[in-house]
Structure 1
Amino acid sequence: ARFEAATSPSPRRVAYRWDFGDGALVEDTEEPWAEHSYLRPGDYRVEVNASNLVSFFVAQATVTVHVLACREPEVEVALPPQVLMRRSQRNYLEAHVNLRDCVTYQTEYRWQVYRAPSCQRPARMAPVALPSVDVSR
């Protein structure tokens, strides 16, 4: 699961402390997001403490984890290994998706673009904001 915290107004230096509610070690980050994998189904209370030198704020949310009825789909991005995307040009992205004959869930597609030299570890990279782009098709 991926979690994101928003602070307003946007302070410059914020430390985030994430407690995922399942007994795993608390995670400290400098980024306003964290990823966590739950090992068992159930309800978990996630807590994030955002703090700086002046103040702090704690937010909580409940997450319900279910066992999936299907295996994860296979996704292959149909691009060459190196892609140069220019803001001044229209870019088209394509992916081949194998749902593995699963019809239990409604399928939703969502694209995220990262400014990174590689897609191998995008978890700590901020996605590029695409406010005027339909990333769901």
Structure 2
Amino acid sequence: MTSVRVGYLVALPALSGIAWAPAFPVLVLSAAVFGVAMFLPFAAQVTLAQDYLPNRPGTASGLSLGLAMAAGGLCSPAFGRLADTSGLPAVFYALLAVFVVPVVMAIRLPERTWKVPDAPAPAPALVEAAHPHEAR
């Protein structure tokens, strides 16, 4: 959960840096930080999805990755239209406003708890074979 939260919390100001970059070097640095921050929680998100669907790890992986890609693909025409009508900065402002929602959701995710199954008791024959001097 820490990598998800840190990734999103670092990505938010980096996306702000892209939207309000006063100079090209700030834009490049913000874009690099944003890319790293968005890649940071990648594996944890897939693992988290597999925890939510423990009997279907393939489905969980497909949903977490496929849904993200599909949502981006479905929204890209709207962002393209916004860029055509209002300019590229408006797109980054809109992305920034939309990105606040997953950041808040990531912060509110509950901590994962590890469930350790109880160890089964060894079979009596194995106990006697392991400790022959105690069996007599």
TM-score normalised by the chain length of structure 2:
0.21
Relative contact order higher in (CA < 8 Å, ≥ 6 apart): 2
Higher Rg = 2
TM-score normalised by the chain length of structure 1:
0.21
